[in-house]
Structure 1
Amino acid sequence: MADIHIEEFYKDTAVALVQLYNAFPRRVNLFVEDIAGPDEPDEFGLHSRRHMACFGSLLWMAEEGLIRYVDTIRQEALDQAVLSQRAFTRLSAPASPTLVASVEPHVIAGGESLPPSVRADLTTHVHIIRETLRTGHSAKLSHVMQEIFFRDEPDH
């Protein structure tokens, strides 16, 4: 089992990527509370470790070229965030058959009866992320996000 902070990282990045994909190509404010849940700063105005970890995950995605943003809104949000071309392409691309089978086994088993456009949509990375978030299975989400982050880029 992965460390809890790594599982939270995968969940935070998955939620953020889906939010940005759903708004693409519009720029939107990406609020930490919408991803990690409500947070009450302490008496000194400092956010919780969980809140700051989520904020750090958003900044990491920007540093790694997955998202762009104009500015931060304190430590509460990214202002005018949008997916990068690299992230949009990866999320729209088909996932590996192994990954699809682990999340959507009916697509592999009986997918021939589905219209090609539906079958194609059910195998995209963004669909796989959405389904995995819906089930709440953290180990499976970790596996999905590892494929998205670490799978070699296709040759062009």
Structure 2
Amino acid sequence: MADIHVEEFYKDVAIALVQLYGVFPRRVNLFVEDIAGPDEPDEFGLHSKRHMACFGALLWLQEEGLLRYVDTIRQEALDQAVLTHAAFVRLSAPAPAPLNQLVTPSSQPSEGQLPPSVQQDLSTYIHLIRRALKSGHSGRISQIVQATFFADRNR
């Protein structure tokens, strides 16, 4: 079992990538509260560890070349954030079949019953991330995000 802060990291990253993919190529402000939930700074104006971990995850995404932004809005948001080319291509790529089976509910139609264009769309990394987030299962979220990050290293 992973440390809770690592599981929260994967969930924060997944939510941020889904938000940015949903508005691509438009630049948007990416707020920590929209990802990690509300936070009340303490009497000294300091944010909680959870809030700062999420903010750190967003900065990490930039450092790893998955998003760009113009500036930070204090420690509350990234101003004018957008996915990089590499992130957009990775999220739009089809994932290997074993990953699809990991997050595909058994109630969905089998692959042969769907048109090829729909099958292709449902097999992308971004779609799998969305389904994992919807499931709320932290293990699935972690596995899909890890597979997304390391997809190009396994080829």
Q: Which residue of 2 aligns with 1:88?
A: 88
**Aligned equivalents of 2:4, 2:146: Cα separation in 1:** 15
Please list the CA deviations of residues 10-54 of structure 1 after superposition, one character each: whole Å capped at 9, or x if unmatched: 000000000000010000000000000000000000000000000
Structure-2 change in CA distance of 1:85 and 1:107 (3 Å): farther
State whether structure 2 residue 115 is matched by structure 1 residue 121. no
Q: Deviations over 1:71-125 (max 9, x none)?
A: 0000000000000000000000001111001111659982112011110111000
| 1:151, distance to aligned residue in structure 2 (A) | 2.4
After TM superposition, the structure 1 = structure 2 runs for residues 144-155 of structure 1, keeping only pairs within 5 Å, are 144-153=144-153
Count of residues in correspondence between the two structures: 155
% identical equivalent positions:
67
Secondary structure in 1 aligned to 2:110? helix
TM superposition shift of 1:152: 2.5
CA RMSD for the aligned pairs? 1.7
Q: Report runs of 4+ in structure 1 exceeding 6 Å deviation.
A: none
1:21 pairs with 2:33:
no
Contact 1:62 1:68 in 2 (8 A): yes
Match for residue 130 of structure 1?
130
- Structure 1-normalised TM-score? 0.95
**Structure 1: 5+ residue stretches without partners:** none
Determine if contact 1:101/1:107 at 8 Å carries over to the other structure: no
Aligned to 1:141: 141
Which residue of 1 is the match for residue 110 of structure 2? 110
Give matches, 1:20-39, under 5 Å.
20-39=20-39
Give the TM-score normalised by the residue count of structure 2: 0.95
1:73 maps to 73
Q: 1:153 offset after TM fit, Å?
A: 4.8
1:70 to 1:109, Cα distance in 2 relative to 1, 3 A? same
Unaligned runs of 5+ in 2: none
